[in-house]
Amino acid sequence: MELAPVRTMMIEDIQKAIPHRHPFLLIDRVLVIEESKKAVGIKCVSMNEWFFPGHFPGHPIMPGVLIVEALAQTACALFLSRPEYASKLAFFMGINETKFRRPVVPGDVLELHIDVLKAGGRAGKVRGEARVGTELAAETEFTFALVDK
């Protein structure tokens, strides 16, 4: 990380902020770099993940859609941990410009970099990059709507 976090969200903090639970909670920690603007999620990818037996037998690769979901969960944790959004949920409205650059495999530590491009009271737009070390694994932009729980 190039910047020190202003706060760190451990798994208990993440579960207070977002509704996702096992087996669909795909982030382990969130480093909030700048409130409401920038965060880095951490996902320690293990061979014990529920999706590896079927994707792909003998050649485990984390599904690209789950990498995008992990990026979205990082953005949700960044937003929904704020008191003003405590009664909200975030829903995908669009996913654009998505590219997958390298496979994510067991043993990788996935860094989920989030940059908020636009944010309002009801919607926003985010750019996300998933990295393994210095290598770009995936990149995307997505829009979301904030709705009442």
Q: What is the pLDDT of residue 2?
A: 59
Q: What is the pTM of this model?
A: 0.96
On whether the CB atoms of residues 90 and 144 are closer than 8 A, the answer is yes
Say whether pLDDT at 144 is over 50: yes
Q: Higher-confidence residue: 84 or 71?
A: 71
Which of 20, 22, 55, 113 is catalytic? The answer is 55
Cβ within 8 Å of residue 73, ≥6 positions away: 14, 18, 20, 25, 26, 27, 41
Residue 121: what pLDDT?
A: 80
| CATH code of the domain made up of 7-148 | 3.10.129.10
Listed by start position, the domains of the chain span: 7-148
Q: What is the pLDDT of residues 18-75, one digit of tens each?
A: 999 999 999 999 999 999 999 999 999 999 999 999 999 999 999 999 999 999 999 9
Average pLDDT, the chain: 95
Is residue 55 flagged as an active site residue?
A: yes
Q: What is the pLDDT of residue 43?
A: 98
